[in-house]
Structure 1
């Protein structure tokens, strides 16, 4: 594929892609304890609709930030094909949007084929459209056409990335929002003291976070779901300065039923500042939580985890400005 052709394909996909990066709703409480299976979507029966068919269900609806990967080389899929039209639907779409047949043939990748447009009327399959959800990674898409006629059971390849559970799982990972580390410091951030260890607890326990991505298309008989599950496993504290001994401590989170907490009161490692913060200044203490991420090829977060592809650990981070004083006397 020539660079010009590749640019045309990606530009066309970006122009038509309607996959919105929708944040979870903040309605209701932050933790959803309802049935983990998302409600079914109505069957898609509108052949002239160009909206994306991927939908999401979230277990966490509170504040936070998008989960970042512990593996800096990992990135979600740059593009994929989703079922969009039947043969008749594609014929109507092309007739409604393109005056010249040779342009329509180029759009669907048949510009090198002799004769008229092959709509695949009467064949089993559907027309699938290329989706490129992120402008920043669109250049990594290896797809060669904006549209493909896809037969049932067609496997995904880098050149033909038809959507499948693995794709949905990685997209769900990219849509996962995690709560900020809910830490409480003793002494308080504004009252840290030299040579007094900084103890850490959670002001509320954490629970796992899951996101289900699914696609349902009755016309193409495609019904796929995948659920990404993130479980908090470790807390890492960084004092934000080399004037601390130790500067960092890592704690395993303690599971209690379905929740996870930490209390470093009796832990062998607690950050201890050895020098007061600058006058009028502070040290940026950082709390990072490591989340173990698995996925299941279904809408059930409790289903058997898939072995491949392995998803990298996630992390959530929060920084607190701490003021450290020389006074070493403290009454706890």
Structure 2
């Protein structure tokens, strides 16, 4: 049985044992039994109304500090297929004053955890104003959370709530809770500078990798095709991520280190044999073709051994980016390399001799 199925089964059992209101997967005591609904997964976006709690979307601020900002761009794919950013973490959401305003006006419909929403003022005022307990499923168990008196007005701090990058993650389901200002909560999946570095990894935008070729239109069987990129095409890309109302920040830097060529067919040779063309000190890759070099072996290139027959080969060119990060409190380290690939048509003709 999957975790979702086990959770649904547990909800069903609880529904028979107590009078609770389930709204998007969250329970609250003292609500009419007849208003129960099945658990649901709200979409990861919300409207402008009551935005403070209308959706479990991250408040992390991201800015690009360096690198290309124009032209066609894309996101990186990690070379480590087992690595991925944290599926969820907690963030400060509202002050006591903001929570009071939200709870006591309008429909008071909003999320109290990434997968659970409360609808109606009574749910919010009972727990955050009148001190009544709230119930929610966390890590497959029904958990009781103590209520608050008058929204903690007069205290300096924030109510924190989980954010799920991956909507299949249920590891940050604690009902929105209080934390004093200047402190990071001591809970599983609390944010760290590395959390922000990982988050920024997903936001790195790198330029397209279409390469220069000689010959341009068609390659010729058994003659090398030179591949290069001019200097300045690829620069370090730096992305900064900051979590508001905390001192947490991180800068993730992507540095281009190699171009990998895949000719799109086994009937070809690549130069160098690994297919990895290193980036030169000036930021260029390979060497531009010079007239009279047709029979020479390029430092970066391809030799096709068979002609195409109406269907071009798909030449793949991928830049490898070395990823490092530094963050608050002197933290930092390495993250898995990233790659970004593009493909372009390669037509190959069968001519025994050619002048170039």
Same fold, TM-score > 0.5, yes or no:
yes
Q: Which has the higher strand share?
A: 2
The 3 A distance-change label for structure 1 pair 212 and 156 is farther
Cα shift at 1:201: 0.8
Whether 1:251 and 2:287 are equivalent positions in the alignment is: no
Choose between structure 1 and 2 for higher RCO, CA contacts under 8 A separated by at least 6 residues.
Answer: 1
- How far the C-alpha of 1:118 sits from its partner, in A, is 6.8
Match for residue 78 of structure 1? 87
Shift of 1:203: 4.0
1:54 pairs with 60, 65, 81, which one?
60
CA separation of 1:305 and 1:331: change in aligned 2, threshold 3 A? farther
C-alpha distance in 2, partners of 1:304/1:116? 36
| 1:175-194 alignment, distance < 5 Å | 175-188=203-216, 190-194=217-221
Q: Mean Cα displacement is larger for which, 232-241 or 58-67?
A: 58-67
Structure 2 residue corresponding to 1:206, chosen from 234, 244, 257: 234
SS state at 1:271 partner = strand
Tell me the residue number matched to 1:30: none
CA distance in 2, matches of 1:180, 1:292: 17
Report the CA distance between 1:115 and its aligned residue: 6.9
Question: After superposition, where does 1:220-259 map in structure 2 within 5 Å?
Answer: 222-246=246-270, 249-256=275-282, 259=283
Deviations 1:113-153 (A, max 9, x none): 577657334444310132234xxx22124012241212343
Q: Is the Cα–Cα contact under 8 Å of residues 183 and 203 in structure 1 kept in the other structure?
A: no
Aligned length: 284
> Is residue 2:206 matched to residue 1:145?
no
Runs of 4 or more, structure 1, over 6 Å off, are none
Question: What are structure 1's unaligned runs of at least 5 residues?
Answer: 19-46
CA offset at residue 255 of structure 1?
2.1
Shift of the 327–103 alpha-carbon distance from structure 1 to 2, 3 Å rule, reads farther
1:125 aligns with 2:157: yes
CA shift in 2, pair 1:114/1:324, >3 Å: closer
Give distance in 1, aligned partners of 2:325 and 2:351: 50
Q: Could you say which residue in structure 2 is the equivalent of 1:273?
A: 304
Q: Corresponding residue for 2:37?
A: none
RMSD: 3.5
Cα pair distance change 1:249/1:160, threshold 3 Å: closer
TM-score, normalisation: structure 1: 0.73
